[in-house]
Chain A
């Protein structure tokens, strides 16, 4: 043990910060989920009360529903579009570098800036989208009022931000497949489409799995998009937009914990949500695994 003091010294800066700001907080929030606490007065142990309330809290379930809808509406087109674009970029000889950079660009812009932009473009009264629709005689659409369209706009902006990122990852996976494999398939009489479904896709499966897990974790954590889109100030009662149609679970957590100072309930929300994410990741994983056997 003593002879390794240099190694322990070298990893200690990280583990000190990690212990205080990551390890301890996770367990402390689990502890908080069983307390009643507003951050100021004394903590009171309430057992499972927070969770009993949560199970019957319609707003919580609405937020879970919103999160899942937004997640599906964004993840499916993102991953599908990324795969198509990666295949196309992989197949061209010229401008490859340009396409990669131009398509990745949306991913380095800030969510706040992108959300403000989408809010302006999809604005009910003066947005560009409604202006274009108006030019061809379609009456204005209430993008930021209708509960489904609110989710669609949020999903669109997430798709815009994340397609390029996933495209780059698929592209790297495609480049790792040796060209001889496709050559052999061609000699055996496989067309480009057959070759894609029978060779490329199965060989890409680990990468697809990686992107599905990452998209599940990222996609379910949407918070900034509805928060910036509809703003939060004391006067704005409907967090998450009209009818709380854009209220995601993390936004609800933020509301309960940091606006209503209900720390115990806030902690219960994130923990319940975390368990839900685990279930979804396992289900997704199973689906992708089963696809391999079929």
Chain B
């Protein structure tokens, strides 16, 4: 009997924790669907209202929401595709092949993975202004590619997930190095690749510091920077700002909901094996 009540108590605590983690989403919907007057009212309105479209209209009138969303989408897709290809190829090489300098090169990558990213931010900006990329979207891609986490993580996976025997067999059948990567290892790496893809996409989508620094052209921003500007300029019109927050958050939550299972499994893999 006590065991049963203990179980109910556990679920009760967990349900409270879930409510806390979901509450901001619910309250964002309440604020985004009411008028600012309703929110300012004391006591404030606690239920969703019918003003979502007005608020969305105000967002669209104040910032180039869809333009900046398209910018973010393009940058996130390009970054993700490049990260998946470059990191998986390098990780495959490190996991399965011996070559002079391998240990030193991989060690270098590990050391730099520990360094705070901001150590290089200033020179990255200097480089971008030297090559004339300040203010343009392509400036967002290279720093994301220089992140070594993907290689570290993929190498862990490939070491165990791609059997040596299979690669040996492929070699005997006349498969060269790149065919082994593309035809033999690639299909086996699929689960790890999808995690890396979501990880890279979410990071690119949510990135704020670097776009804030390098996107100097107010007509060419990413979603997060545009959203922050909306907040600075109009932080008394809550319902509009929250409508913007809602519009910017929904796509990411949808992506997460679709891939949550694999993503969470992947996120823990690195911690447990590393």
Q: Mark A1-43, 1 if CB is under 8 A from B, else 0.
A: 1001011101101110110111111101100100000010000
Taking the complex as formed, is B122 at the interface, i.e. its CB lies under 8 A from any CB of chain A?
Answer: yes
Taking the complex as formed, is A190 at the interface, i.e. its CB lies under 8 A from any CB of chain B?
Answer: no
Flag if A28 contacts B123 (CB, 8 Å).
yes
Taking the complex as formed, is A119 at the interface, i.e. its CB lies under 8 A from any CB of chain B?
Answer: yes
Flag if A14 contacts B145 (CB, 8 Å).
yes
Flag if A11 contacts B177 (CB, 8 Å).
no
Quick check: which of A46-54, A67-75, A92-100, A180-188 contacts chain B, the rest being far away?
A92-100
Taking the complex as formed, is A158 at the interface, i.e. its CB lies under 8 A from any CB of chain B?
Answer: no
Flag if A88 contacts B13 (CB, 8 Å).
yes
Flag if B18 contacts A99 (CB, 8 Å).
yes
A4 to B99, CA, bound (A): 6
Flag if A20 contacts B142 (CB, 8 Å).
yes
Q: Mark A270-292, 1 if CB is under 8 A from B, else 0.
A: 11011001000000000000000
Flag if A32 contacts B122 (CB, 8 Å).
yes
In the complex, the chain A residue whose C-beta lies closest to that of B198 is A108
In the complex, the chain A residue whose C-beta lies closest to that of B109 is A18
Contacts of A99 in B (CB 8 A): 14, 17-18
Taking the complex as formed, is B200 at the interface, i.e. its CB lies under 8 A from any CB of chain A?
Answer: no
In the complex, the chain A residue whose C-beta lies closest to that of B227 is A112
Flag if B116 contacts A274 (CB, 8 Å).
yes
Contacts of B119 in A (CB 8 A): 25-26, 29, 270-271, 274
Flag if A126 contacts B40 (CB, 8 Å).
yes
Given A8-B99, A21-B142, also A29-B122 (CB < 8 A): yes
Given A7-B99, A102-B22, A223-B209, also A169-B112 (CB < 8 A): no
Contacts of B105 in A (CB 8 A): 11, 15
Contacts of A18 in B (CB 8 A): 109, 112, 146, 148
Least distance between B32 CB and chain A CB atoms (Å):
11
CB within 8 Å of A: which B35-50 residues: 39-40, 42-44
In the complex, the chain B residue whose C-beta lies closest to that of A94 is B11
A223 to B213, CA, bound (A): 13
Flag if B18 contacts A103 (CB, 8 Å).
yes
Flag if B27 contacts A7 (CB, 8 Å).
no
Flag if B118 contacts A221 (CB, 8 Å).
yes
Given A22-B112, A160-B20, also A131-B271 (CB < 8 A): no
Contacts of B232 in A (CB 8 A): 231-233
Flag if B238 contacts A126 (CB, 8 Å).
yes
Given A29-B123, A99-B14, A267-B122, also A207-B143 (CB < 8 A): no
A10 to B117, CA, bound (A): 25
In the complex, the chain A residue whose C-beta lies closest to that of B148 is A18
Contacts of A60 in B (CB 8 A): none
Quick check: which of A145-153, A195-203, A249-257 contacts chain B, the rest being far away?
A249-257
Taking the complex as formed, is A85 at the interface, i.e. its CB lies under 8 A from any CB of chain B?
Answer: yes
Given A168-B268, A169-B268, also A266-B122 (CB < 8 A): yes
Contact of B206 (CB < 8 Å), options: A89, A110, A120: A110
In the complex, the chain A residue whose C-beta lies closest to that of B248 is A113
| Highest count of chain B CB atoms <10 Å: which of A131, A171, A267 | A131
Flag if A14 contacts B116 (CB, 8 Å).
no
Taking the complex as formed, is A116 at the interface, i.e. its CB lies under 8 A from any CB of chain B?
Answer: yes
Contacts of A112 in B (CB 8 A): 206, 208, 224, 227-228, 248
In the complex, the chain B residue whose C-beta lies closest to that of A273 is B116
Taking the complex as formed, is B136 at the interface, i.e. its CB lies under 8 A from any CB of chain A?
Answer: no
In the complex, the chain A residue whose C-beta lies closest to that of B257 is A101
Q: Mark B5-32, 1 if CB is under 8 A from A, else 0.
A: 0010011011001101110110110010
Least distance between A89 CB and chain B CB atoms (Å):
7
Flag if A113 contacts B249 (CB, 8 Å).
yes
Taking the complex as formed, is A141 at the interface, i.e. its CB lies under 8 A from any CB of chain B?
Answer: no
Taking the complex as formed, is B100 at the interface, i.e. its CB lies under 8 A from any CB of chain A?
Answer: yes
Least distance between B197 CB and chain A CB atoms (Å):
14
| Highest count of chain A CB atoms <10 Å: which of B120, B122, B206 | B122
A119 to B242, CA, bound (A): 11
Given A8-B99, A117-B242, also A254-B213 (CB < 8 A): yes
CB within 8 Å of A: which B116-142 residues: 116-127, 129, 142
A-B contact list, 18 entries, CB within 8 Å: A18-B109, A23-B112, A28-B126, A91-B10, A100-B264, A106-B21, A108-B206, A109-B249, A113-B245, A114-B24, A116-B231, A128-B44, A134-B43, A165-B267, A171-B268, A233-B232, A250-B118, A274-B115
Known A14-B90, A117-B27; further 17 A-B contacts with Cβ < 8 A: A10-B90, A10-B178, A14-B145, A15-B90, A17-B145, A22-B120, A22-B146, A25-B119, A95-B14, A99-B17, A103-B18, A105-B256, A110-B227, A113-B248, A164-B21, A221-B118, A266-B122
